[in-house]
């Protein structure tokens, strides 16, 4: 069964198209922050553009909110986080491991990934009250040498708490 979601007033099925210039594309560059990982890269280098066709690779429901891990389907180069049923102040992040994993014929879900960096956004009034959705900028997924970083989506509701999808390693 295909999951269907409302995105910017458009019903979207299992594949999601994101363009760099639309509200669905995610946060403005000024709203993107760098996480507490071990890398010293700047947020502008780590959180990139989002243009591509995405599919859902992980989901979670937490405190009445729904979040998804989106991974690019055609080029398999990027991943990003998406949340809906949000309120102003909710935060969503895509986490990417510092460690690389050898890709196999099936997706993997490692228990530990070592350190990680994140790319996230906090919902403003427009995203919460008009769009009722929030999406991050993208992080690089595959390394081009048969390895991929592990990624996950984490949701931080304004009222506290945190919930994350399983870590996901892309497959060939």
Q: What does the pLDDT look like over 113-150, one tens digit per residue?
A: 889 999 999 999 999 999 999 999 999 988 888 899 99
What mean pLDDT do residues 22-43 have?
39
Please tell me the distance from the alpha carbon of residue 146 to that of residue 19, in angstroms, as a whole number.
Answer: 27
Question: Cα-Cα-Cα-Cα dihedral of 132, 28, 67, 38, to 10°?
Answer: -160
Please tell me the distance from the alpha carbon of residue 150 to that of residue 79, in angstroms, as a whole number.
Answer: 10
pLDDT confidence of 17, banded at 50, 70, 90? Answer: very low
Work out the percent of the chain whose per-residue pLDDT is above 90: 56
- pTM value is 0.75
* Range 56-59, long-range pairs (CB < 8 A, 24+ positions): 56/3, 56/14, 56/16, 57/107, 57/151, 57/168, 57/170, 58/152, 58/153, 58/165, 58/166, 58/168, 59/165
Identify the CA nearest to 54 among candidates 10, 24, 30, 34: 24
């Amino acid at each position: 069964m295909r999951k269907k979601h409302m995105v910017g007033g458009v019903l979207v099925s299992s594949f999601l198209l994101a363009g760099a210039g639309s509200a669905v594309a995610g946060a403005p560059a000024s709203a993107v922050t760098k996480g507490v990982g071990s890398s010293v890269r700047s947020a502008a280098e780590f959180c990139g553009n989002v243009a591509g066709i995405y599919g859902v690779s992980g989901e979670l429901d937490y405190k009445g909110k729904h979040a998804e891990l989106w991974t690019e389907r055609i080029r398999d180069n990027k991943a990003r986080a998406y949340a809906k049923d949000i309120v102003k102040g909710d935060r969503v992040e895509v986490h990417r491991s510092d460690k690389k994993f050898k890709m196999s014929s099936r997706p993997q879900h490692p228990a530990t990934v070592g350190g990680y960096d994140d790319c996230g956004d906090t919902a403003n009034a427009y995203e919460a009250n008009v769009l009722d959705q929030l999406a991050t900028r993208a992080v690089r997924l595959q390394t081009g040498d048969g390895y991929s970083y592990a990624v996950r989506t984490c949701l931080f509701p304004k009222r506290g708490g945190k919930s994350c999808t399983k870590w996901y390693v892309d497959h060939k």
